[in-house]
Amino acid sequence: MKLLVILLFSGLMTGCRGNSSYSLPPKLLLVSFDGFRADYLQNYEFPHLQNFIKEGVLVEHVKNVFITKTFPNHYSIVTGLYEESHGIVANSMYDAVTKKHFSDSNDKDPFWWNEAVPIWVTNQLQENRSSAAAMWPGTDVLIHNTTPSYFMNYSMSVSFEERVNNITTWLSNSNPPVTFATLYWEEPDASGHKYGPEDKENMHRVLKEIDDLIGYLVQKLKMLGLWENLNVIITSDHGMTQCSENRWINLDLCIDRSNYSLIDLSPVAAVLPKINITEVYEKLKNCSPHMNVYLKKDIPNRYYYQHNDRIQPIILVADEGWTIVLNKSSSKLGDHGYDNSLPSMHPFLAAHGPAFHKGYKYSTINIVDIYPMMCHILGLKPHPNNGTFSHTKCLLVDQWCINLPEAIGIVIGALLALTTLTCLIIIMQNRLSVPHPFSRLQLQEDDDDPLIG
């Protein structure tokens, strides 16, 4: 019944949508709080974020892509592609053909980004639309010769308030209007690395600050009259897991440093051999019981992490909580990058706005599913991608969606209604046939009907 009412209602809403305020193009603000592990939401208090969710939707787990690092996952959100297909396969990369290096502080060469087309570029190719970015990996790079019309060069010293103030200014008065915008914040990733996610006291303090920032954002949007018509997605790139000095894998104990170059270190090491690949592989293979060693051709299919020249000939994948080191120089108490099927690596997603249901909870989607959903909301034709639009239908008001529990509910409800109705009819017939003396006569007449006819 509830669902029928909802369906009827959303039907009416879309019917009314032809005109009024909805003739404006839809707008979307995509927000990422780096390293916001999914279960922080269950284990800490977020009054502002919970209010946002109460009037919107929540996806409790977002299955991200391998490797579960920042640049690769942020690019998957805005392209819908696995890392092997969008080309940002790590935060540190090396291309053997061009001899180019990529790192988070040396990321502006379009060469690295041009294997995919991010949504802000596609959005901007639509007539009368522009994009804006208060940071997000890639938004200050000329990708396919295009940056967002409004953007900031990356700098971690720009405050959250300044990022919000500038992005909301761009969202409220630009011509052509900004219809897609991004907002990025470095926390709780930085503190997650420093303290480790199991440091309840410090994480409590940091996560309260994040919630206050969300409160600031919502208040600002309301003040500027953007809140009602703007779609806002709050999500993240990956989670965080606890590390320890007792869980180190020291490569120096297994192989001489002169035999290989290390393109990326931990928890997924990218190894470029300088000697015979097989020899390097043999030396590393039994280096630690807490690390998987793969030749490129043997990387498990479920990682979708193989078919790209930027993936090195050998990769080492540490078990959850283990750290690959060269010497005892690592001081991280929290890290990410591990197997993307680990719940600790997953972020969450919350969304609010005219495109989304109110008060709807959903258990899981893939990070690559966000892209086709965003294209749908903005009315953009998506580029070929690895996401599945139907995974997000239940979040959207303009889509039909029946999930299994609701379907079972509807069937049971219908059966109950049918049974009740049958009983009522039987009771009514009995009542009718008992007290009225003529009813029997009428019945008999009816019975005679076929004979007469």
The two structure tokens encoding residue 219? 């208040």
Whichever of 84 and 189 has its CB closer to Zn ion, that residue is: 189
What is the three-state SS of 158-170? CCHHHHHHHHHHH
Cis, peptide link before residue 176, omega less than 30° from 0: yes
Q: DSSP readout, 20-36? A: GGGGSPPEEEEEEETT-
Cα distance between residue 63 and residue 73, in whole Å: 10
User: Which of Zn ion, ligand NAG, none does residue 94 bind to, with CB < 5 to 8 Å depending on kind?
Assistant: none
Q: Are 363 and 60 in contact (CB under 8 A)?
A: yes
CB of 318 to ligand NAG, least distance (A): 17
Q: DSSP readout, 302-335? A: GG---SSTTS-SEEEEEPTT-EEESSS----SEE
Binding site for ligand NAG (CB under 6 A): 18-19, 23, 81-82, 85, 127-128, 151-153, 158, 162, 166, 256, 258-259, 274-276, 278-279, 304, 326-327, 329, 384-386
For residue 263, give the nearest of 45, 99, 39 by alpha carbon.
Answer: 99
In sequence order, what are the beta bridge partners of 230? 27
For residue 353, give the nearest of 322, 326, 377, 320 by alpha carbon.
Answer: 377
CB of 241 to ligand NAG, least distance (A): 23
CB of 251 to ligand NAG, least distance (A): 10
Q: Which residue is nearest to ligand NAG (CB)?
A: 384
3-class secondary-structure state, position 345? helix
Radius of gyration from C-alpha coordinates of the chain? 28
Helix axes 200-223, 160-172, angle to 10 degrees: 30
Main-chain phi, psi angles of 398, to 5 degrees: -95, 15
Whichever of 18 and 437 has its CB closer to ligand NAG, that residue is: 18
User: Per CB under 5 A, does 339 bind Zn ion?
Assistant: no
CB of 35 to Zn ion, least distance (A): 5
- Which residues in the 182-201 window bind Zn ion by CB under 5 A? 189
User: Which of ligand NAG, Zn ion, none does residue 189 bind to, with CB < 5 to 8 Å depending on kind?
Assistant: Zn ion
Cα distance between residue 106 and residue 438, in whole Å: 96
User: Which of Zn ion, ligand NAG, none does residue 18 bind to, with CB < 5 to 8 Å depending on kind?
Assistant: ligand NAG
CB of 32 to ligand NAG, least distance (A): 17
Cα distance between residue 442 and residue 49, in whole Å: 68
CB of 416 to ligand NAG, least distance (A): 40
Number of H helices, E strands in the chain: 13, 18
CB of 337 to ligand NAG, least distance (A): 18
- Mind telling me the catalytic residues? 70
User: Which of Zn ion, ligand NAG, none does residue 327 bind to, with CB < 5 to 8 Å depending on kind?
Assistant: ligand NAG
Q: What is the residue whose two structure tokens read 């996806």?
A: 59
User: Per CB under 5 A, does 107 bind Zn ion?
Assistant: no
For residue 44, give the nearest of 198, 194, 164 by alpha carbon.
Answer: 198
What is the three-state SS of 148-196? CCEECCCCCCCCHHHHHHHHHHHHHCCCCCEEEEEEEECCCHHHHHHHC
CB of 329 to ligand NAG, least distance (A): 5
User: Which of Zn ion, ligand NAG, none does residue 105 bind to, with CB < 5 to 8 Å depending on kind?
Assistant: none
Cα distance between residue 362 and residue 378, in whole Å: 22
Which residues are at the interface with Zn ion (CB under 5 A)? 189
